[in-house]
């Protein structure tokens, strides 16, 4: 049995970037800053998030830089060749399956319906 599940709670590091494809698919990317629990105030850990379809649209509409969110997803690695050096590169990306909007309407300066989970 294998398990690849990631659960994180943190704040959006930037506004989500949304791309729409001719096929009707939607992808949304943003970063998440997560503080470690420690006596020292270390720098946060940063994670790249990839969100698809309806959840991507929710993220695009309701997540803003600084928004408190919880995510559940799986870890994968993007691999590519650096154009300048030819070196092989990779970075971890979390593909989000579930997004929880944890801040209040006032925190996110939103009006109208504010879903809490997708």
pLDDT digits over 29-75, tens only? 999 999 887 777 778 999 999 999 999 999 999 999 999 999 999 99
Overall domain count for the chain:
1
Answer whether residue 101 is part of any domain: yes
Q: Domain residues for 91? A: 6-107
Answer whether residue 118 is part of any domain: no
Answer whether residue 45 is part of any domain: yes
pTM value?
0.81
Residue 117: per-residue pLDDT? 53
User: For the chain, what is the mean pLDDT?
Assistant: 88
Task: Report the pLDDT averaged over residues 79-86.
Answer: 93
- In this predicted structure, the answer to whether residue 79 has a pLDDT above a threshold of 80 is yes
Answer whether residue 112 is part of any domain: no
Answer whether residue 1 is part of any domain: no
Answer whether residue 115 is part of any domain: no
Residue 47: per-residue pLDDT? 96
More confident residue, 118 or 71: 71
Residue 103: per-residue pLDDT? 77
3-state secondary structure the chain: CCCCCEEEEEEECCCCEEEECCCCCEEEEEEEEECCCCCCCCCCEEEEEEEEHHHHHHHHHHCCCCCEEEEEEEEEEEEEECCCCCCEEEEEEEEEEEEEECCCHHHHCCCCCCCCEC
CATH of the domain at 15: 2.40.50.140
Answer whether residue 60 is part of any domain: yes
Answer whether residue 11 is part of any domain: yes
């Amino acid at each position: 049995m294998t398990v690849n599940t990631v659960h994180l709670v943190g704040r959006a590091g930037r506004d989500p970037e949304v791309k729409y494809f001719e096929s009707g698919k939607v992808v949304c990317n943003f970063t998440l800053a997560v503080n470690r629990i420690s006596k020292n105030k270390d720098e946060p850990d940063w994670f790249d998030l990839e969100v698809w379809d309806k959840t991507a649209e929710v993220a695009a509409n309701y997540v803003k830089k600084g928004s408190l969110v919880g995510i559940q997803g799986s870890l994968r690695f993007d691999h590519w060749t650096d154009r300048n050096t030819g070196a092989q590169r990779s970075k971890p990306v979390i593909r989000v399956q579930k997004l929880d909007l944890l801040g209040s309407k006032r925190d996110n300066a939103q009006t109208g319906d504010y879903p809490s989970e997708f």
